[in-house]
Each structure stands twice: as structure tokens, then as C-alpha cells.
């Protein structure tokens, strides 16, 4: 679809999208992804991107979630900002900003199946490190935080799945769930600015992507509201189990065997 399409043609294309069987499946995944993000502060990409990559390809998957996340991201960030560890998020965000373009360049030039394998291997490596007892000290320097942010930024630019390095970093240090959730939201809000600029420069934000995201955004917002209600009822132990479950589940969903 050309970006210079006439308004009538754009409207027709927009209204035709829900009739596509792939879109109906994607809508269900978006709703679940919103619940996960609203509950944990991360994980929407881990739920949405593997399924959307299989349906539409990794580039469309990464671009659509970036766009439909923006409308709900800003008010959520404002609400949770007082609970975030801003001092720690700053070096994480700097590292992420440096590596997000590298992740995009990898996405642009790597075979789609190979991209899914890379993401799966990186997530498996993080889980294996935690299972092996690898822990970060409770107090870490800016260089260490920047390195974790860099890994997250690379994975974000590659496939919008930058959550695992951050969450494993915070969970291994026994950070409170409320702080993890708020800090994750703040980090990804900052990262969205860099990622959006990178994707615009790379031509990933097409007319079709914007039309798809326009349908998905309300479902995602509804899912986030539901997830936020569930977070208010969850204990620290439940939050940690769900966080690890999200990461582990993303490994299974992301394997290119599906």
C-alpha cells in the first residue's frame, strides 16, 4: 500500500483489515499482551511479537507493537513515575539508546527465521543464568546498569522484546515488584523515542502498519486496564512467578519451529 493512498482508499483498507483471518488472531494476542504489560510493566512484546512475526513477519510485528503501545504508555508512565527508581533507569536508558539502532540494523539485514532464533537464544541464556544462580549485587554501578540496558536496547531494536535482561537484572537483586513495574515502564517509555526514530529512518512505519495499530490500540488499552487490576491483587511471590513464566513462555512461543 502506498503512503500516498487517497483518504477513501485508506478508509476502505482500514475497514477491510478485521476481515483478514490473520488479524482476528492478532487481535486476541494483542489483548493478552496488554494484560501482561498492565500486570508486570513489561512482556507485551514477548507475547505479541512471536505470534505476530509468524503471522506478518518480524518487521511488521516490531513496528505495530511500537505504535499501538504509545497511546497507553504515556499516561501509565506519568502515573507510575513516583514509584520508579529513576536514578537506576538513567544509565539503563543510555545503554539502551546506544544499542537500539544496532538491533534495528540486525533486524533489517538478518533472515526472519534467523532473527527469531537469535531472540530465543538470548532469552534462554538469561533464564539459564538465573537458574544457575547468577545474581547481581543489590548495589550496582552505572557501567553494569548500562551494559544491561545495552542488551535490552539491542533486543528492543531487533524485535521489541527488551524486557528479559531488565527483569532478570531486577528480580535477581530482589527489587520490590512495585519498583520493577514502574521502572520498566519508565525505561521503555524513554526507549520508545529512540526506537521510533530508528524505525522511521529505516522505513518500518508504513501506512499498513499504522492502520493495523489503529485497530489494535483499543484492545491493548483494555488489556492493560485488566492487567493493572490484577497487579493490585497480586503478592510479591505471585509477581515474580508470573514474570519468570512470561519470559519462559516467550521462549517456547518464539522458537521458529511453529
- Domain coordinates of the chain in residue numbers? 7-254
What pLDDT score was predicted for residue 149?
A: 93
What would the pLDDT profile of 179-233 be if each residue is shown by its tens digit? 888 998 899 899 888 999 999 999 999 999 999 999 999 999 999 999 888 887 7
pTM for this prediction: 0.78
Give the C-alpha separation, 194 to 20, whole Å.
32
What pLDDT score was predicted for residue 3?
A: 54
Looking at the chain, the whole-number percentage of residues with pLDDT higher than 90 is 37
What pLDDT score was predicted for residue 171?
A: 78
What would the pLDDT profile of 16-48 be if each residue is shown by its tens digit? 999 999 999 999 989 988 988 888 887 788 788
- Mean pLDDT of the residues in the chain: 85
133: left (phi over 0), alpha (psi -120 to 50) or beta: left
Q: Is the model more confident about 9 or about 244?
A: 9
End-to-end C-alpha distance for the chain, whole angstroms: 28
Q: Is the model more confident about 59 or about 256?
A: 59
What pLDDT score was predicted for residue 158?
A: 86
C-alpha cell at 80: 507510575
Q: What is the DSSP track for 182-241?
A: HHHHHHHHHHHHHHHHHHHHHT---HHHHHHHHHHHHHHHHHHHHHHHHHTT--HHHHHH
Amino acid at each position: 500500500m502506498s503512503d500516498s493512498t487517497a483518504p477513501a482508499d485508506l478508509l476502505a483498507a482500514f475497514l477491510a483489515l478485521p476481515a483478514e483471518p490473520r488479524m482476528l488472531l492478532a487481535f486476541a494476542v494483542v489483548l493478552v499482551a496488554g494484560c501482561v504489560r498492565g500486570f508486570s510493566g513489561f512482556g507485551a512484546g514477548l507475547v505479541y511479537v512471536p505470534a505476530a512475526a509468524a503471522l506478518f513477519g518480524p518487521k511488521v510485528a516490531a513496528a505495530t507493537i511500537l505504535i499501538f503501545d504509545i497511546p497507553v504508555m504515556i499516561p501509565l508512565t506519568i502515573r507510575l513515575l513516583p514509584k520508579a527508581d529513576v536514578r537506576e533507569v538513567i544509565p539503563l536508558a543510555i545503554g539502551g539508546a546506544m544499542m537500539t539502532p544496532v538491533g534495528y540494523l540486525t533486524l533489517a539485514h538478518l533472515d526472519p527465521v534467523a532473527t527469531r532464533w537469535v531472540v530465543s537464544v538470548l532469552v534462554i541464556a538469561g533464564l539459564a543464568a538465573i537458574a544457575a544462580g547468577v545474581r547481581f549485587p543489590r548495589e550496582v554501578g552505572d557501567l553494569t546498569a548500562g551494559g544491561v540496558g545495552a542488551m535490552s536496547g539491542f533486543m528492543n531494536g531487533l524485535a521489541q522484546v527488551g524486557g528479559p535482561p531488565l527483569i532478570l537484572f531486577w528480580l535477581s537483586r530482589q527489587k520490590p515488584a512495585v519498583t520493577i513495574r514502574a521502572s520498566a515502564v519508565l525505561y521503555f517509555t524513554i526507549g520508545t523515542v529512540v526506537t521510533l526514530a530508528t524505525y522511521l529512518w529505516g522505513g518500518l512505519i508504513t501506512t499498513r502498519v499504522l492502520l493495523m495499530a489503529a485497530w489494535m490500540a483499543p484492545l491493548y488499552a483494555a488489556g492493560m486496564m485488566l492487567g493493572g487490576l490484577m497487579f493490585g491483587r497480586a503478592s510479591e511471590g505471585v509477581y515474580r512467578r508470573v514474570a519468570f513464566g512470561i519470559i519462559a513462555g516467550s521462549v517456547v512461543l518464539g522458537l521458529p519451529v511453529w
